[in-house]
Chains A and B, each alone.
Chain A
Amino acid sequence: MKVVLRHPKREVEVTGRRRVRDLLKELGLLPGTVLVIRGTELLTTDAIVGEDDEIEVRPVISGGAR
Chain B
Amino acid sequence: MKCRKCGGAAVLELRRHNTAFCAPDFVEFFRRQVAEAVKRHRMFTREESVLVAVSGGKDSLALWDVLLEGGYKATGLYLDLGIYDYSKESKAKCKAFAAAREAPLLTVSVEEEVGAAIPEVHAATRRPTCSACGLSKRYLTNKAALDHGFAVVATGHNLDDEAATLLGSVLHWQTEPLARQSPSLGSTHPKLVRRVKPLYRLSELETAAYAFLRGIDYIVEECPFAKGATSLLHKEILNRLEEASPGAKHNFLYGFLEKARPAFERVGEVELNECARCGQVTTGTLCGFCKLADQVKRAR
> Are the chains A and B members of one assembly?
yes
Q: Which chain A residues have a beta carbon within 8 Å of chain B's beta carbons?
A: 6-7, 9, 30-33, 35, 37, 41-47, 58-66
- Chain B 188-212: CB-based contact to A (< 8 A → 1; otherwise 0): 0000000000000001110111001
Show 29 residue pairs from A and B whose CB-CB distance is below 8 angstroms, ordered by the A residue. A7-B221, A30-B239, A30-B240, A31-B243, A32-B205, A32-B242, A33-B204, A33-B205, A33-B239, A41-B11, A42-B212, A44-B10, A44-B13, A44-B20, A45-B13, A58-B212, A60-B207, A61-B160, A61-B204, A62-B59, A62-B161, A63-B232, A63-B235, A64-B223, A64-B229, A64-B232, A65-B130, A66-B137, A66-B157
Q: Given that A42-B213, A44-B12, A44-B20 are contacting pairs, would A64 and B235 also be in contact in the complex, using a CB cutoff of 8 Å?
A: no
- Chain B 257-269: CB-based contact to A (< 8 A → 1; otherwise 0): 0000000000000
Chain B residues bordering chain A, tally (CB within 8 A): 45
**Closest chain A CB from B41 CB (angstroms):** 19
Number of A-B contacts (CB under 8 A): 92
Report yes or no: B55 in contact with A66, Cβ–Cβ below 8 A: yes
Q: Which chain B residues have a beta carbon within 8 Å of chain A's beta carbons?
A: 1, 10-13, 15, 20, 23, 55, 57-59, 130-131, 133-134, 137, 155-157, 160-161, 203-205, 207-209, 212-213, 220-223, 225-227, 229, 231-232, 235, 239-240, 242-243
